[in-house]
Amino acid sequence: MDLKSGQEEMKRRRDRALKMGGPAKIARQHKLGRLTARERVTKLLDPGTFMEMGILNLSDIPGMEEQTPADGNVVGFGKIDGRDVLVSAADKTVCAGAEGRVGAFAKEHRAGQLAAEKRIPVITLGDAGGARIPDIMGSDGLSSMTFPIDALKYPRRSPYIATIMGDCFGGPSWMAAKADFVVMVKGSCMAVSGPRVLEIATGEKVTNEELGGWKLHAEVTGQVDAFAENEEDCLRIVREFLSYMPSNCDEEPPKLPNADPVDRKLDEIAGILPEALNRAYDMFKIIKSIVDDGKYMVLKPFYDPSLITCLARMNGRVVGIIANQPIHNAGAGGPGSCEKASSFIVLCDSYNIPLIFLHDTPGFFVGLDAEKKKMPGRIMVWFEALALSTVPKISIIIRKSYGMAYGNMAGTNCGSDILVAWPTADISFMSAQAGVNVVFKPLIDAAADPALEKEKLIKQWEYQSAPWKAAERHFIDDVIEPRNTREYINKCLDLLRGSDGKGFISKKHLQSWPTVI
């Protein structure tokens, strides 16, 4: 073929690929309020940076070549805020987004290997219903489309982000389950198989929303980290998350210019923290007062909200915050909070993000339901994640911190590099009101004036639970003025960076842990 003929043929094939599944199917996608795969990629990446791989792919099933431009998967490299990323977007206009052997396996796997070798973050834009039936039929078909387990044998060195932007079954669900961060558009679905397959296989009739809608994953499964109102919001969230992440595990996250004074006083604290220990308040107000410009990004906001996990910045540097939330169950966490804390510690340690713990918890929320969900095991997995993490950890006891939860929040001898308290701290195995009834009930009952005796014992308990005894014996490093908390944390972070400037780089790479813990 001469040059001119070759160029004409190349243009014809590329033009065919760019038309995707054709005008009618593109219009159908738009009618659903959804973008096409190519539109999603364009809106996600910095303008003009996309370098597509495999645009000329077609299905290897005879007779399906003309129906499968790019084999239904738009894959390539581009930039977000000037940094390289790999993007893979399922094309819903081609075979309803079902995955083909060429596009989803050969192309995506090859590009993924290159991204792993060059330590480039990966983003998948999910909108697909699992494997394409003609590709997996027969013993040879299924054997050619099994999940490549070798991809799971080695520690992941760069952030991996998955999105659920339509009805996703099979492949997109597997990718979301192994991702560092998952964003789901409200109105989409994520499940192993769709309602039709489920009804045929088990007789169970459910809707997409019941089977894998956003509320299920927000409140029950905890498998999704953030939720978007629409697709553009989803892509914005992806970009925001990446702004907190390094490109790979050998770098610190990006440091941004900071105009918020490092020694700013938190004079508003007096108006946030109630005088009474049993009065609730919103921990987000404390976090907002501490971090740069009051900005933070919450992960898993609806999953056991008694515990907050969020990313923020201190003097321009990224930090991860784990904080009890007193307005939910008084800050007492259950199995969900343990899972949430464990996965967040793994994320932060994997990508060199120092951890800040803010205590205000009466202990773990125990009971029959929690025990059925393996509460002791959940608590210990959190504890193990804490023990294995090597990024700097700063722990601040704001108010109550009782029982085993004190340890899980990086209390004494539990992994913190620096552990301090506010003067309002209350450290014990339970509250004074409950504790005296447990420990001193016979003494109270035998007293001439039981009410007076109980009041005296409560005051003694409260004094012993205040931070002073722990400070005297150096179980904690200091008791600090609440208004100086931002300045104190910034000084600690400078110290913990070390003279070589590598104090934030994790000594272990926990990406090799199982993703679901």
* Domain segments of the chain as ranges: 13-243, 269-425+466-512, 433-465
Give me the pLDDT at residue 175, please. 87
Give me the pLDDT at residue 500, please. 76
* Pairing label, strands 307-314, 296-299: antiparallel
> Is residue 238 a contact partner of residue 44, using CB atoms and an 8 Å limit?
yes
φ and ψ of 131, to 5 deg: -70, 150
What does each C-alpha distance from 501 to 232, 251, 292, 495 come to in angstroms?
38, 11, 21, 10
Give me the pLDDT at residue 46, please. 98
Give me the pLDDT at residue 386, please. 93
Per CATH, which fold does 13-243 belong to? 2-enoyl-CoA Hydratase; Chain A, domain 1 (3.90.226)
CA distance 195 to 280: 42
Give me the pLDDT at residue 247, please. 96
Asked whether the predicted pLDDT for residue 141 surpasses 80, the reply is no
pLDDT per position as a tens digit, 457-491: 778 777 788 999 999 999 999 999 999 999 999 99
Beta bridge partners of 479: 421
Burial class of residue 303 (count of CB atoms within 10 Å of its CB; 0-12, 13-18, 19+): buried
| Segment of 96-110, 186-200, 245-259 carrying the highest mean pLDDT | 245-259
CA Rg value for the chain: 27
> Is residue 101 a contact partner of residue 144, using CB atoms and an 8 Å limit?
yes
pLDDT per position as a tens digit, 225-253: 999 999 999 999 999 999 999 999 999 99
> Is residue 292 a contact partner of residue 316, using CB atoms and an 8 Å limit?
yes
pLDDT per position as a tens digit, 29-81: 999 999 999 999 999 999 999 999 999 998 888 988 889 999 999 999 999 99
Asked whether the predicted pLDDT for residue 515 surpasses 70, the reply is no
Average pLDDT for 299-326: 98
pLDDT band at residue 154 under the 50/70/90 scheme: low
CA distance 259 to 246: 22
- Contacts of residue 147, defined as CB under 8 A and 6 or more positions apart, other chains included, come to 174
Asked whether the predicted pLDDT for residue 257 surpasses 80, the reply is yes
Percent of all residues in the chain with a pLDDT value above 70, rounded to a whole number: 96
Total Cβ atoms within 10 A of residue 450? 13
> Is residue 165 a contact partner of residue 185, using CB atoms and an 8 Å limit?
yes
Choose the CATH number for 269-425+466-512 among 3.90.226.10, 3.30.2350.10, 3.40.50.970, 3.40.190.10: 3.90.226.10
Give me the pLDDT at residue 155, please. 67
**410 conformational bin, left if phi > 0, alpha if psi -120 to 50, beta if neither:** left
Average pLDDT for 150-174: 84
CA distance 302 to 218: 5
Full-model pTM: 0.93
Give me the pLDDT at residue 152, please. 67
The upper half-sphere exposure of residue 37, i.e. CA atoms within 13 Å in the direction of its Cβ, equals 33
Average pLDDT for 387-414: 94
Q: Which two tokens stand for residue 407?
A: 């340890």
pLDDT per position as a tens digit, 331-388: 999 999 999 999 999 999 999 999 999 999 999 988 888 888 888 999 999 999 999 8
CA distance 60 to 392: 51
Asked whether the predicted pLDDT for residue 511 surpasses 70, the reply is no
φ and ψ of 300, to 5 deg: 50, 55
Average pLDDT for 390-416: 95
The larger pLDDT score, comparing residue 281 to residue 149, is at: 281
pLDDT band at residue 203 under the 50/70/90 scheme: confident
Asked whether the predicted pLDDT for residue 148 surpasses 90, the reply is no
- Contacts of residue 59, defined as CB under 8 A and 6 or more positions apart, other chains included, come to 65, 67, 68, 71, 100, 101, 102, 103, 132, 134, 135
Q: Which two tokens stand for residue 391?
A: 């990024």
Give me the pLDDT at residue 241, please. 98
The upper half-sphere exposure of residue 229, i.e. CA atoms within 13 Å in the direction of its Cβ, equals 1
H or E element at residue 307? strand 307-314
Give me the pLDDT at residue 444, please. 74
Among residues 102, 91, 163, 155, the alpha carbon closest in space to that of 129 is found at 91
Asked whether the predicted pLDDT for residue 509 surpasses 60, the reply is no
> Is residue 354 a contact partner of residue 504, using CB atoms and an 8 Å limit?
yes
Among residues 301, 172, 288, the alpha carbon closest in space to that of 226 is found at 301
> Is residue 340 a contact partner of residue 222, using CB atoms and an 8 Å limit?
yes
Burial class of residue 514 (count of CB atoms within 10 Å of its CB; 0-12, 13-18, 19+): exposed
**Lowest-confidence region among 160-164, 168-172, 486-490:** 168-172
H or E element at residue 495? helix 485-497
What does each C-alpha distance from 248 to 69, 161, 497 come to in angstroms?
33, 13, 18
Give me the pLDDT at residue 143, please. 78
Q: How many residues does the chain have?
A: 517
